[in-house]
Every structure is written in C-alpha cells, then in structure tokens.
Amino acid sequence: MTILVTGATGNVGRHVVNQLVRSGQHVRALSRNPAAANVPEGVETVYGDLTAPETLVPALKGVKGIYLMTSVAGGSPLQTGSEIIELAEKAGVRRAAILWSGEKGTVERAAEASGLEWTFIQPYCEFMSNTLIWAESIRSESVVREPFGDSLNAVIHEADVASVAATALSKDGHAGKTYILTGPEALTPRAKVRIIGEALGRDVRFIELTKEQARERLKKLGVSEDMIEYVLKWHENLPKEAYTVVPTVQEVTGQRARTYAQWVADHLQDFS
C-alpha cells in the first residue's frame, strides 16, 4: 500500500521514510519543497502544506496509511487537524500513525472521532538529537554548558520513534492504541557529555549554568518569556514519566531501543 509521510525530511519523518522503504512499502514523501527533499531512491515526493489542507488532496490519492505530524515549524499545534482527517477519510486512508505531544489538539480529536485506525506515538522524553545543539561548542572548545547537570531523562533515538510509527502503519494490531516511548536508559547531561567524550577519544568538559545564566542565554536566542519559563520549569522538575524507562519500543517492534552511545556513534562527525 502507499503510505504518505508528512514531515518527511524532519527528525523523525526521515527515519519513518527509510524504515518503510526497507520493509518494502511504497512511500510518498510530503514536502513544501519537494525538489530539495533528500529521500531514498524509489520514494515519491509530492508538494503539500499541512496548514493549507486543500494542498493535500493530490498527495492523498491512493494512500492507505499516513504518518502525521501534529505541530508546525516552531512547535505550534496544528489548527487544521479536522480538515486533514476529513480529507484522509474521503481519500480512503485506513491507518494513521500520529506523533503526539501528549495534549490533544485538532488532529488527535479528529482522529478519535473518525473511522481511521489511529495510533498515537508519544515520546515522553527528549530526542537524543536535541544534543546536536552542543556540537559547535564541542568542536571548538570541547565544552558543554547547560543547567540542571544531574537531571535525568530517558532520551530516545529518533529512529526508534520512527520504528514504532512504521510498525503501526504496516502491521495489524495497533489501532486505537497510545504508545508512550522512552529510550533504554535514563541519563543526565553530565553522563551524555561523558559518552560523547569517550566516543571522540578526548576530554569534553561539562560546565553547569545557573538557572539565571540559562535564562539569559535563551533570551539572547530570541526565545519568548513564556517558552523560557516552560523549558526551565520542565527541566528543573521533570515529570517521573520523562526519566522512567518503559519497554514499549521493544514490545512494539521486537527490537531493543537504541542507546545514546549508538546515537553518538551515528552522529560522531557532527561533534568532531
């Protein structure tokens, strides 16, 4: 069957595309700039914009499954969920794997009210790729500066999120389920820096910022006051779910969740 992947060049979406291709599925990648999309051979690229649902009509033709984002660039919740789900149903889409933030928005509510076989994919922890923000300072100074150095988080490899989504789209038995995901271990920022240093074969120092220093850094980056408060409070008092390891990835896919050391090995060139 044809599976449409939205956000096909993004953090998780590109892994969804790759894994579906490897499993023999026909994949159609949705992009606002198809000509610039770097996708595997045999993947069909089409134009579409989730904020303009009418652009999805040609992309949905013949599609039986869809990997669907619930936010737009910058993280704002998608406001066109009901229109997208309605178009998907009209096009004959049967399954939807939805990357969920944990708060039900227009996409989630419309999916639950529809006849689609929906599956919510919810990583409750951080993506391992978030630490790519350290790459420049590691390359230039062998230093990482972050607050809350002893805060635990069961970080997850984006490819594992994609594996769960690809499984839900290509195999039976996942309709109506919400999969909460974590990686295989809870790590502190200090521990992640140590793992990167070991992989590089050199010492990488961790310098802990105060809360106020972290606040000033975010201000300089142009982050809004509301978002700064949200980020700092979340990291200062992480919910138990963010650092409690769950076996969902292995239960759904049959494969162990990838470790942070594996992720670092995949991205070593970014820190070198």
Structural domains of the chain, with CATH: 2-123 (3.40.50.720), 125-157+182-245+258-272 (3.40.50.720)
Place of tokens 């039976």: 172
The answer for residues whose C-beta is within 8 angstroms of residue 93's C-beta and 6 or more apart is 4, 60, 63, 64, 65, 66, 116
Q: How confident is the model at residue 1 (pLDDT cuts 50, 70, 90)?
A: confident
In a 10 Å sphere around its CB, with 0-12 CB exposed, 13-18 middle and 19+ buried, how is residue 248 labelled?
Answer: buried
pLDDT in tens, 229-256: 988 998 888 999 999 999 999 999 999 9
pLDDT of residue 227: 86
pLDDT at 74 (0 to 100):
65
pTM for the predicted model, two decimal places: 0.95
Closest to 177 (Cα-Cα) out of 223, 116, 221 = 116
**To the nearest 10°, the Cα dihedral for 55, 59, 64, 69?**
-60
The model's pLDDT over 55-105, given as tens digits with 9 standing for 90+, comes to 999 999 999 999 999 988 767 889 999 999 999 999 999 999 999 888 899
What whole-number distance in Å separates Cα of residue 168 and Cα of residue 179? 10
pLDDT of residue 103: 84
DSSP code for 102: S
Confidence of residue 8 (pLDDT cuts 50, 70, 90): very high
Residue 177 reports pLDDT greater than 70: yes
Write the pLDDT tens digit of every residue in 135-169.
999 999 999 999 999 999 999 999 999 999 999 99
pLDDT at 207 over 70: yes
Task: Specify the 3-state DSSP secondary structure of 147.
Answer: coil
